[in-house]
Every structure is written in C-alpha cells, then in structure tokens.
Amino acid sequence: MSASQETQTGGGHVALSLQRAVDEAQRCLLCHDAPCSQGCPGGTDPAKFIRQIRFYNFKGAARTVLGNNPLGGACAYVCPTDETCVRACVRSGIDRPIDIDGLQAFAVEYGREHGVKAMEAGARRPHKVAVVGAGPAGLTAAARLAMYGYPVTVFEARKELGGMLRYGVPESSLDSAKLDADLAEIKALGVEFKTEHLIESEDGAAKLLADGFKAIFVAPGLWKPATLKLDGIELDGVGDALSFLEECRTDTAKARALVKDKNVAVIGGGSVAMDVARCARELGAGRIYAIALESMTELPAQADELGDALKDGVVIKPQCQVTRIIGEGGKVAFLEGHETEWIEPGKLVPQNARPIEGTHFKLKVGAVIQAIGQRPTDAVGKVLTSAKKQGALVEANAETQATSVAGVFAGGDLVRGAGTVVAAVGDGKRAADAIHRHLAGGKEVAS
C-alpha cells in the first residue's frame, strides 16, 4: 500500500476583496529577486502581480496571471502554495507569509469583471496540432499553441473539459463556475474541442500525425485507480478515490449511497485521501478513518488539508496497514489491520514497512475507499504504443516534453506520475513552446 503523490489539493483558498487585496499587497516586501517567483512549476510570477495590485494596476495583475497560465483562476484555488510560492515568502521571517493565492484569485476575478483579455489568438499558422486530453496540461498547451497561431484540436474522452479539475477536485475546493471561466477564455482563442472522443486505436498518436496533424501533445492523465490485493477487496462497499470523487460531481446519489450513515475507511494519507474524507463527511458518513503507512509528519497531504480533515473529525491512523476486509452477506462489514514501522527509516514504500506485533486492530466499517494512486488506462497505453516508457509512464524530455516519437510530445501525470495541477500547467507550456520551435523553427526537437 502506498499513498503516492496526489493529483489535487483542496481546501480553503478564498479570493480577497479589492480592499483586502490592496491591504495584503501592502504587506508584501516587494523583494528584490523575489523568492516567491522562483519556484512556481507553472512559471507564475507572484512578485509581479502582487506589485501590480499594490500599485493599483489590477488589470495588469490579471494579465500577469492569466497571460502566463490559462488556468490561473483554477490554480488560485487548488495550488499547493504552502509548498511553493507561499513557502518561499520572505515575509515569513517577520510574521506570516503573504496570501498569494488569495491575491491571485482576486486578480483573476477583477480581470474577468473588467473585461481583461489576457490571451489573444496569434496570426493563423498552417500547421494543425492535436492535443490528447483536456486536463490541465492539455488545456494549457492548447491555449498557448492557439496564442502562437496554430489551429488546435483537443480530443477529450469525457463529456466535460477540465480533467482532474472537473472530475477529481471536490466542488468545495473549486466550484465549476471558476473552471468554466478559465475554459471560456481558452475556447475564445478558437481551440476546437472534440469531447467524448477517445483516442484508442493502436498507436493513435501516429495515426493523428498521418491524419495531417503536424505535432501531437499527449496528456490524458492517469485514470485507472491502483488497487490493493487483499482478502475482501471484491466486496460490495469497496471503492476507489477516483470513481468516488467523480461520482461526487456527476452522480451524487451514488456517492452518497456508498458512504451515508456508514463508517468509512479511506486508505491513503495524501491530498486525494483527504478530499475523499471531506466529501464523505459532506455526504453524511459516520466515523471516517484515514489509514496510511506514513507517520503523521510523513503524510503526503498538505498541512492545511490535514488540519481540515482533523477539524472534520477524521480519525487519522498513521503507520498502519490494512490486512483484510471482512464481509457480511457480500457487503463490507469490518476491516482488519496492524501498526507498522519502517525497516529502513525514511524509505516510504510498502515493501519497507513491517508489522508491529500485538497491534492488530479491527474496525467496523461499511465502506472502504482506496486512495493509493493511479495508473494510465489501457486506452492511454495505446496512444503511444511505440514511445519509450518507464514502467507505465511515458518518457519525455524535461525541457521540451518530446517523446521518443518525432512530433509527439507528452506531459502531465502520464509523464510525471500523479502530480499537481500547476506542474501539469508547466508541462503544457513547455510542450507548446517546444512544438512551436519544432514547427516554426523547422528544427527537430531532441528527445
């Protein structure tokens, strides 16, 4: 069991009002060579948009955010800023860091209210580009390519755009209207979206090239949940995080039926596990456990998410392993496990955990939801049949996102494993820039 890195982060980011935004921007030290602007995987420049707010250049701030990141609105709500820009904030040395996500959300909302157009489609170029997957990486690449002037077609297997932002993040973290506002601006660039259009033929990327697309960006994400091999895993009442979170958005009745009035065990200690716990609480679950191999300080969930879960009454069981699920009449009834310790300290993989004698426990639960990571679906495997892979993940150049197949680029979770939205945004930007060099510069981009 491994609570791998998680895809999304949740919780509590709020857009500041104009007055509060100015107040907060006034707290900013306007650092020289600002550390907050140095570590964003998406290339955001908080020092610039905070300065713009400080000097009442609100429209400029919106242009800074959205011109760099077409999902700047959504990222303001879901970014793990405590681990990136906010963590780097120099003001922490005096009292507390600047509320960078609140300022970003303010800038985006101000820009939208005042008709700021941060992105514009470039002069039309002849080379058609295809993007597979309308998640954070694909959407970012599509927007940026359209800004360069390429006709872009995005193929999306699902009905709605957004990928994890649409189907994986709880509504309480990112309400759909915020995502839709970002999407509207991307659509306005003239990007063509083909939804419910799964690319599943063998070597689908190569076929797209044959169909006349001059470059392909493949970013379909990881949508196959990892599952444990345990006694009772087949019982009615055992689910996985991806399906549960998706149902929370698309089929709430089904999600509610799984957890309402039941004790729920969430297996995993990352951000997704905390999202599942929060949604289960909202849907009326009884006692909620989060069971993870890591210790309290090792849990991959961010501190604020963990804090929210604790406030919600979630019982965290750190350094514990589930050994068996017991059913009654085909339905989940109990869960058994024991406490563990690391054989070799600091090596946080399931193989390195060993049980501690005399710590066996048994919990009465009505549902078990696994939040232990995800893999590529079988269809995704086919898109890039001939590309070089590392396990289930596709290999791509860290600077260009180029795969081993000429003209085919890849990014997002499919390349990096489950990661953050903003990291996928970074991939999309890099890929678009590399595709532009590849097409406009007439030079092959080394993989």
Enumerate binding residues for other proteins (CB under 8 A): 19, 22-23, 25-26, 29-33, 35, 54, 90-91, 93-94
Nearer of residues 26 and 386 to other proteins, judged by Cβ = 26
C-alpha distances (whole Å) from 251 to each of 154, 223, 248, 272 are 26, 18, 6, 19
**Closest to 277 measured CA to CA, from 250, 304, 245, 324:** 245
Cβ 58 to other proteins, closest distance in Å? 14
Nearer of residues 51 and 256 to other proteins, judged by Cβ = 51
Cβ 84 to other proteins, closest distance in Å? 18
Please name the residues in contact with 411: beta carbons below 8 A apart, sequence gap of 6 or more: 137, 141, 217, 218, 219, 396, 401, 424, 427, 428, 430, 431
Cβ 93 to other proteins, closest distance in Å? 3
Nearer of residues 33 and 357 to other proteins, judged by Cβ = 33
Cβ 199 to other proteins, closest distance in Å? 48
Please name the residues in contact with 233: beta carbons below 8 A apart, sequence gap of 6 or more: 227, 325
Q: How long, in residues, is the chain?
A: 447
Cβ 299 to other proteins, closest distance in Å? 30
Nearer of residues 52 and 400 to other proteins, judged by Cβ = 52
Nearer of residues 26 and 195 to other proteins, judged by Cβ = 26
Are 241 and 276 contacting, i.e. CB atoms less than 8 angstroms apart? yes
Cβ 33 to other proteins, closest distance in Å? 6
| Angstrom distance (rounded) from CA 25 to CA 31 | 12
Nearer of residues 94 and 343 to other proteins, judged by Cβ = 94
Cβ 111 to other proteins, closest distance in Å? 19
Nearer of residues 46 and 411 to other proteins, judged by Cβ = 46
Nearer of residues 56 and 406 to other proteins, judged by Cβ = 56
Cβ 26 to other proteins, closest distance in Å? 4
Cβ 83 to other proteins, closest distance in Å? 20
Nearer of residues 93 and 442 to other proteins, judged by Cβ = 93
